[in-house]
Amino acid sequence: MKKKKVKNIRKEVVYGIHPIIELLKAKKRKLISIYTTKPLPKSWGKISPYLPQRIQNIQYVSRDKLAGIAGSPEHMGVVALTSPFQYQSKMFDATKKPFILLLDSIQDVGNLGAILRSAYCTGVDGVVLCRKGGSILTSAVFKASAGYAEHLDIYIAPTINVAAQEIKKAGYNLYLSVIDSKNDAAKIEYKKPTCLVIGNESTGISKNIKKDGTLITLPQKKSDISYNASVASGILLFLVSQKIK
């Protein structure tokens, strides 16, 4: 008698109270199991209202074991195993998603998570990441986004050049954040559909895509420093979201 083949289901880790709450609220992927401590952490009461009524796979382990599963000590007493995050299979439709964000080689997971949180807060319709040169979604990114990345539609292009061309072909107007443009980001008019582009933490926007859109700058009173990538993103996302209403 032949043995039945057991499917190898790929799993991802999400850790921390807020990321797991947003995972459960978004209802976009399957919760496979929960790891926590016994006695339960004080924060358990915040998660329990969102858990499926008949969840059976709750496993009780030590805090050190949780840190091992999470790959971080910042698990706050709860770690979840879930089905993989589902990325968009193609570039966004500009008629349905008029405001998107393109991230050019953002490498720091803390910055990426913070930017995705700001994107959610400002009503961004879609986010484009690039597989080459930048970070993609990891458990640390979800933690840094406080879980709000769970609610976003995210597409991954192979490179920044491919991303820019696909975005232009879809009909978006690109606005690229740099430190040396004459266009004050707070004063120019933004045309819909709009794509805001944020560059790498140290090198900024890739040179070969600067010709693909309008360069914009956040004014600074000091010229010897620049905004952190996630701070600049938050300010620009707010400005653009208010101007394209």
| Fold annotation for 12-82 | 60s Ribosomal Protein L30; Chain: A; (3.30.1330)
Q: How far is CA 48 from CA 36, 54, 69, 185, 241, in A?
A: 12, 12, 21, 43, 34
Q: Could you tell me which residues come within 8 angstroms of residue 83 by beta carbon, excluding any fewer than 6 positions away?
A: 9, 10, 11, 12, 29, 30, 32
Mapping DSSP to helix (H, G, I), strand (E, B) and coil, where does residue 229 land? helix
> What's the chain's average pLDDT?
92
CA–CA separation, 177 and 198 (whole Å): 6
DSSP assignment of 102-153 equals EESS---HHHHHHHHHHHHHTT-SEEEEETTTS----HHHHHHTTTGGGGS-
Query: CATH code for 99-243?
Result: 3.40.1280.10
Residue 6 pLDDT grade (very low, low, confident, very high; cuts 50, 70, 90)? very low
DSSP assignment of 47-115 equals HGGGS-TT---EEE--HHHHHHHHTSSTTTTEEEEEPPP--BSSPPPTTT--EEEEESS---HHHHHHH
With a cut of 80, say whether residue 53 has pLDDT above it.
Answer: no
Mapping DSSP to helix (H, G, I), strand (E, B) and coil, where does residue 214 land? strand
The answer to whether the Cα torsion of 231, 232, 235, 236 is positive or negative is negative
Q: Could you tell me which residues come within 8 angstroms of residue 66 by beta carbon, excluding any fewer than 6 positions away?
A: 15, 35, 36, 37, 75, 77, 78, 79
Mean per-residue pLDDT, 40-69: 88
Share of the chain above pLDDT 70, in %: 94
Mean per-residue pLDDT, 162-191: 95
pTM of the model: 0.92
Same fold, 12-82 and 99-243: no
Query: Hey, where are the domains in the chain?
Result: 12-82, 99-243
User: DSSP label at 27?
Assistant: T
For position 4, what pLDDT does the model report?
47
Residues 74-118 have pLDDT tens digits of 999 999 999 999 999 999 999 999 999 999 999 999 999 999 999
CA–CA separation, 223 and 226 (whole Å): 7
CA–CA separation, 101 and 41 (whole Å): 37
